[in-house]
Amino acid sequence: MNLEATINGEELTLEIEPGEVLLDVLRRNGFKSVKEGCKTGDCGACMVLVDGSAMTSCTLFAAQVQGANIKTVEGLDDELAGSLRENFLDKGAVQCGFCIPGVLVSAYSLLSSNPDPTEEEIKAALDGNLCRCTGYVKQIEAIKETAEELGDS
């Protein structure tokens, strides 16, 4: 069977197996930013935007997202994404980087709907993204900084 979806702005038709999760389909088709950390929806490394909402692609059947608009980190290319990336690097919020695509997807989703979040809201938005390297401190700072930067512009 086929999955027809818009992925990072491109309308694609991808072959899928019944029961296959979106994570596997995306990685097989070259979207390697989407990481497998647990396959149980607990770590958030495989988060993608599905019609604007951050979701773990390991807990979605590929067949569930027919016709959806899917974005991975590779496809986030606007000012918000650029500012997030730059602030993550400036603040030292990236260590090994394995969780980062998922964290950026969550942060992007948050700031898209809530451009001026409180620290509590940032923590709540990121609570599904496990990071073992950074202790989250600088990730939270980077998101705050991005919100301030874009709020000022």
For other proteins, the closer of residues 67 and 113 by Cβ is 113
State the minimum distance, in angstroms, from the CB of residue 116 to other proteins.
18
For other proteins, the closer of residues 55 and 138 by Cβ is 138
Closest alpha carbon to 127 in 68, 44, 58, 3: 44
**Per-residue DSSP letter, 62:** G
State the minimum distance, in angstroms, from the CB of residue 18 to other proteins.
12
First to last CA, the chain: 46
For other proteins, the closer of residues 67 and 89 by Cβ is 89
For other proteins, the closer of residues 4 and 132 by Cβ is 132
State the minimum distance, in angstroms, from the CB of residue 25 to other proteins.
13
Orientation of helix 137-152 relative to helix 79-91, angle to 10°? 140
* Rounded Cα distance, 118 and 39, in Å: 30
For other proteins, the closer of residues 26 and 67 by Cβ is 26
State the minimum distance, in angstroms, from the CB of residue 81 to other proteins.
9
Q: Which residues bind other proteins (CB under 8 A)?
A: 32-40, 42-43, 45, 72-74, 84-85, 88-101, 104, 122-124, 126-140
Structure tokens at 22: 């979106």
E strand residue ranges, the chain: 2-7, 10-15, 47-50, 53-56, 69-71
